Each structure stands twice: as structure tokens, then as C-alpha cells.
Amino acid sequence: MSSKTPAENPHLPDELAQLPHGRHGLPQEFVDLNHRERLIAAFIALVGEVGYSGATITGVLEGASVTSRTFYKLFATIDDCCIAAFDKGVEDLRPLLAEAYLEESEWPLQVRAALHALLADFAGWPELGRLLTVEPFVAGPELAKRHKAAIEEMVPFLREGRELRAGEPLPDTAERGILGAVNSMIGRQVMAGSGEQLESLLPDLTQFVLTPYLGAAEARLTASA
């Protein structure tokens, strides 16, 4: 069902390409990792096409070119595979965002850089964007819980902006509202089939995120810098 075979999947590193058939003498650990990563990549590709609700084990097997026996050795259910794919996506994003954030020294630019890294990553792999921003709402409570935890991880970075604000403090849940909106905006664009143009959202998203902390004029300046 997936449109990409492992060899065609640009998100599989070379070492995770399909293994040679028959006896190859590779360590079992390596083989298992290879299969696991291929199944995850195939699941993400499939979700990009048909969503979580339409994803089946058969479709994943086809995309990963592995047997059902291999699937069940690594995952008990399609939900397990989904959770593993979500966790892997978040794990891979974490250092990417942290690196972008830390490359800048001023908070508004740090936020802009992290947003840029996020949009660029999803633009390069919109199927992952869909899995991380849209599917958590339909794929059951476990994924919803993980998604909420991933958003919570970003809250402290945004809260740092409160130090730049004079006057009345912002409401306690402001950061969750802002991050939820970023999530939804990305999901909306991905679902509209425009995931590859996600980076075009950067100026507006930067402005929206920074405005409560800096005011509209300064936020606009940073957004267009």
C-alpha cells in the first residue's frame, strides 16, 4: 500500500536498506535494528498516505519488505509500531531543535531558529509532520499522552520569554495555547497537501509566538529579520 519500497525511501539511511536474502552473517542485533527502523519508516510513510485509521500491518509489511513474522517479533500490534514511530520522531527532533535554539544567543532569535528547524524538518518529511501533529488526536490515549508530554517539554523554553515582559504577567496556560496552535497550523498545512511548503509559515508563526512576550511591533521585526 505504501508508495515507497525501502530502497526508494529517502528517510532510510544506507545501512538500513533492505538486507541481502539468505545467509548474510550479520549480527542479529543489527538485523533487528534494520527491520525495526524499516518498519517504522514504512509506517510513517503509510500514515502520510492513509492516516492512522487506514494504516494496516499488511500495508506496513509491504512498505518495509519484511515478513509478518518479523513484524510480530518486534511489535505486538500496529499501535506499538505507531508509538515506536512517534517516539523515534520526537527523539530525532529533540537534538535538532535544541541545536537550533542554542545557536542563537537572544531569546527571540532562539525561538525563531527552533521554529525554523521544526518547519524545515517537517517540510522535508511531511509524513512525519502528520504523525507528530495530527495523528495523536485519533490514535488512542497512549499517543495523546506522549504528544502532550512532547509539547510540555517545549513549554519551559517558551516561558523564558516572560522575563522580557514588563507589566501584568501572562496567563499560566499561554505557552500551551501557543504551542497547540503551532501544532495545529502545521497539521492543517500538512493535511492540505502543502507540507513541503511549511517553511513559508515561519514569519507569521514567529510573529504569533513572540507577540505575547514582546508586543506586536518587536515580534514583527524579529519575524521578518
Partner 1 sequence: MSCGDPYVREFQERGYRPGDEARFRAAWTKLEAAYLARLLQATEPFSEWRDRFHAGAAETVRLVEAFPGEARFLAFGALAAGEVGQEHRRALADRLVELVETVREELPDPDAVPAITGAWIVAMFFDRVYRACIRSEGPALRVELPELTFLAVSAYFGTEAGLEELLRRR
Q: Is residue 1 a contact residue for partner 1 (CB under 8 A)?
A: no
With b for 16 or more beta-carbon neighbours within 10 A and e for fewer, the 208-225 pattern comes to: bbbbbbbeeeebbebbee
Report the residue from 72, 153, 160, 177 that binds partner 1 according to the rule CB under 8 A: 177
Amino acid at position 194, single letter = S
- Beta-strand runs (E) in the chain: none
Q: Which 8-state DSSP code applies to residue 15?
A: G
Site stretch for partner 1 (CB under 8 A), options 26-34, 37-45, 97-105, 134-142: 134-142
Amino acid at position 110, single letter = Q
Q: Is residue 111 a contact residue for partner 1 (CB under 8 A)?
A: no
CB of 90 to partner 1, least distance (A): 18
Q: 158 to each of 47, 168, 169, how far by Cα in Å? A: 30, 17, 14
Report the residue from 137, 142, 159, 199 that binds partner 1 according to the rule CB under 8 A: 137
Report the residue from 148, 160, 162, 221 that binds partner 1 according to the rule CB under 8 A: 148
Q: Within positions 156 to 175, which residues make up the interface with partner 1, using CB under 8 A?
A: 165, 167-168, 170-174
CB of 201 to partner 1, least distance (A): 8
Q: Within positions 11 to 40, which residues make up the interface with partner 1, using CB under 8 A?
A: none
Report the residue from 3, 31, 32, 50 that binds partner 1 according to the rule CB under 8 A: 50
Report the residue from 17, 144, 164, 202 that binds partner 1 according to the rule CB under 8 A: 144
CB of 76 to partner 1, least distance (A): 21
Q: Is residue 202 a contact residue for partner 1 (CB under 8 A)?
A: no
Cα–Cα distance between 189 and 115 in angstroms, integer?
Answer: 15
